């Protein structure tokens, strides 16, 4: 859609007042697939742990048009290693659009002709070297010292991530979310929104979700961070300006990636084949298996772009998360008022499927309106079905959002 087409469409679906109001605040140009990264800044923010961070900045992007009543807002929360870039392209020549472009856009499941979609980079986002990412975390300069915080940055709780997002919404005059939606780490933010600010969240779409980390997930994520901390370049987190712990970060991502898909998915990536059919791994330590080189290639490329400390911070934030600030998951979930759609992968290892289903059952038992759908499993992507298969739940999402 061109801007003109969108303007006509906006005029058609919206009241004249709303249309003129949208015009007046400069947001009449409905979403046409090109997005602009914007920055939100707070002079200071005090964490739930009581530590104050000066000059907090996060990036965000929006798709669609905020209506006059400001009641058409859907907030999207990103997974652990992702960014705010959920849909569209920053430039027409970008290789790929945002991770959920298949469901966000004009006429899509999350219809930007109707909704104003907002997605922010979270505190301690790992993609500190991505010019399109704006975040505040351990890689940021501590205004008190003029040096990167490193591991002295306050540990960020899930509720802190949410609170900074809330301040962003307030800066835009938004008081309610038509829907809060996120996958994986994003589901945690969405759930924390719904439990922490129940009167602000009308609908909740939790994708491959968890309402809190189980012992397995805590231990697995600690296993992700272990190789980073063992990397001689990590130096207790004080690597800024020198060589970074890329090898440790690569090892972390290898493990993350393999546990976020399924064994069948990995089997389809080369099974037990040698990386080079002429180089038997029994003959030399240099000779590798295809699956290891495939995974490592992906991980090594991404590891160079990530800030290892930020990765560790996000792990700790998730491990520590107590939904709604309550002692038990049941108490936390009890605070939610939103109606809920839960999209689950049939074979999820990192956030076990049965715990997501248990969460749905708890919410139902508490009298909430809850729908559950299994994501299409043909991609065999397990937890990553949240990316690979989300479009196949497009109609369900559309129907859930219809009223």
Residue 121 is classified by DSSP as: P
Smallest separation (angstroms) from its own copies to the CB of 396: 27
How is residue 217 written in tokens?
């997930």
Q: Which of residues 303-332 bind its own copies (CB under 8 A)?
A: 316-317, 319-320
User: Taking the chain, what is the end-to-end CA distance rounded to the nearest angstrom?
Assistant: 25
Q: Count the site residues for its own copies by CB under 8 A.
A: 50
Smallest separation (angstroms) from its own copies to the CB of 276: 14
From the list 291, 300, 305, 374, which residue makes contact with its own copies (rule: CB under 8 A)?
Answer: 291
Closer Cβ to its own copies, 64 or 237, answer by number? 237
Catalytic positions, written as ranges: 184, 348, 383
Does residue 253 touch its own copies according to CB under 8 A? no
Does residue 302 touch its own copies according to CB under 8 A? no
Smallest separation (angstroms) from its own copies to the CB of 361: 17
Furthest-apart CA atoms within the chain: distance in Å: 75
Strands 339-344 and 203-207: parallel
Residue 392 is classified by DSSP as: G
353, burial (CB in 10 Å: exposed 0-12, middle 13-18, buried 19+): middle
Smallest separation (angstroms) from its own copies to the CB of 154: 9
Does residue 219 touch its own copies according to CB under 8 A? yes
How is residue 267 written in tokens?
């089997």
From the list 349, 360, 375, 401, which residue makes contact with its own copies (rule: CB under 8 A)?
Answer: 349
Closer Cβ to its own copies, 293 or 396, answer by number? 293
From the list 212, 332, 333, 342, which residue makes contact with its own copies (rule: CB under 8 A)?
Answer: 212
Closer Cβ to its own copies, 59 or 382, answer by number? 382
Does residue 263 touch its own copies according to CB under 8 A? yes
Does residue 278 touch its own copies according to CB under 8 A? no
Nearest to 355 by CA among 323, 380, 377, 391: 323
Residue 90 is classified by DSSP as: S
Contact 116, 65 (CB under 8 A): yes
Closer Cβ to its own copies, 54 or 273, answer by number? 273
From the list 9, 13, 218, 305, which residue makes contact with its own copies (rule: CB under 8 A)?
Answer: 218
Segment lying near its own copies (by CB under 8 A), choices 34-42, 75-83, 291-299, 336-344? 291-299
In angstroms, the Cα distances linking 227 to 139, 237, 250, 251 are: 19, 13, 9, 6
How is residue 180 written in tokens?
């809060």
Helices (H), 117-245: 158-171, 185-196, 215-230
Smallest separation (angstroms) from its own copies to the CB of 285: 6
Closer Cβ to its own copies, 232 or 243, answer by number? 232
Alpha carbons within 13 A on the beta-carbon side of 43: 0
What's the CA gap between 75 and 43, in Å, rounded? 23
Q: What b/e readout covers 306-319, taking b as 16+ CB neighbours within 10 angstroms?
A: bbbbbbbbbbbbbe
From the list 41, 267, 361, 395, which residue makes contact with its own copies (rule: CB under 8 A)?
Answer: 267
What's the CA gap between 112 and 64, in Å, rounded? 4
Q: Which residues sit opposite 63 in a β-bridge?
A: 117
Does residue 266 touch its own copies according to CB under 8 A? yes
Site string for its own copies, 81-100 (x = CB under 8 A): --------------------
Does residue 148 touch its own copies according to CB under 8 A? no
Does residue 201 touch its own copies according to CB under 8 A? no
Does residue 231 touch its own copies according to CB under 8 A? yes
130, burial (CB in 10 Å: exposed 0-12, middle 13-18, buried 19+): middle
Closer Cβ to its own copies, 57 or 235, answer by number? 235
Strands 116-120 and 179-183: unpaired
From the list 48, 298, 300, 374, which residue makes contact with its own copies (rule: CB under 8 A)?
Answer: 48
372, burial (CB in 10 Å: exposed 0-12, middle 13-18, buried 19+): middle
From the list 122, 133, 220, 344, which residue makes contact with its own copies (rule: CB under 8 A)?
Answer: 220
Q: Classify 225 as helix, strand or coil.
A: helix
- Residues near its own copies, by CB under 8 A: 48-49, 151, 155, 157, 212-216, 218-220, 222-223, 226-227, 230-232, 247-248, 251, 254-255, 258, 263, 266-267, 269-272, 280-285, 289-292, 295, 316-317, 319-320, 349, 352
């Amino acid at each position: 859609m061109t801007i003109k087409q969108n303007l006509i469409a906006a005029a058609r679906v919206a009241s004249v007042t709303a249309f003129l109001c949208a015009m007046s605040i400069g947001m009449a140009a409905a979403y046409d697939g090109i997005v602009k990264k914007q920055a939100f800044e707070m002079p200071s923010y005090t964490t739930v742990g009581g530590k104050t961070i000066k000059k907090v900045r996060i990036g965000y992007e929006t798709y669609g048009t905020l209506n006059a009543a400001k009641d058409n807002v859907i907030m999207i929360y990103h997974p652990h290693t992702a960014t705010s870039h959920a849909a569209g392209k920053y430039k027409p020549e970008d290789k790929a659009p945002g991770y959920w472009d298949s469901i966000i856009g004009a006429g899509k499941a999350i219809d930007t002709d109707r909704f104003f979609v907002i997605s922010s980079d979270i505190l301690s986002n790992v993609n500190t070297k991505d010019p399109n990412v704006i975040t505040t975390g351990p890689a940021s300069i501590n205004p008190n010292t003029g040096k990167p915080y490193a591991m002295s940055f306050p540990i960020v709780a899930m509720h802190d991530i949410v609170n900074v997002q809330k301040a962003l919404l307030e800066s835009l005059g938004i008081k309610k979310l038509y829907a809060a939606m996120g996958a994986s780490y994003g589901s945690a933010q969405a759930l924390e929104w719904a439990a922490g600010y129940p009167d602000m969240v009308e609908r909740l779409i939790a994708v491959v979700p968890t309402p809190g980390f189980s012992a397995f997930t805590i231990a697995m994520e600690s296993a992700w961070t272990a190789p980073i901390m063992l990397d001689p370049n990590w130096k207790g987190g004080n690597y800024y300006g020198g060589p970074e712990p890329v090898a440790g970060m690569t090892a972390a991502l290898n493990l993350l990636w393999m546990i976020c898909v399924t064994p069948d998915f990995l089997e389809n990536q080369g099974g037990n084949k040698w990386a080079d059919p002429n180089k038997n791994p029994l003959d030399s330590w240099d000779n590798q298996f295809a699956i290891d080189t495939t995974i490592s290639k992906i991980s090594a490329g991404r590891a160079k772009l990530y800030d290892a400390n930020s990765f560790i911070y996000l792990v700790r934030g998730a491990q520590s998360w107590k939904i709604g600030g309550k002692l038990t998951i049941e108490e936390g979930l009890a605070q939610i008022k939103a109606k809920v759609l839960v999209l689950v992968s049939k074979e999820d290892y990192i956030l076990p499927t049965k715990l997501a289903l248990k969460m749905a059952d708890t919410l139902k038992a508490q009298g909430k309106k809850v729908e559950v759908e299994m994501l299409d499993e043909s991609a065999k992507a397990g937890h990553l079905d949240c990316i690979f298969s989300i479009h196949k739940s497009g109609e369900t999402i559309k129907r859930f959002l219809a009223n």
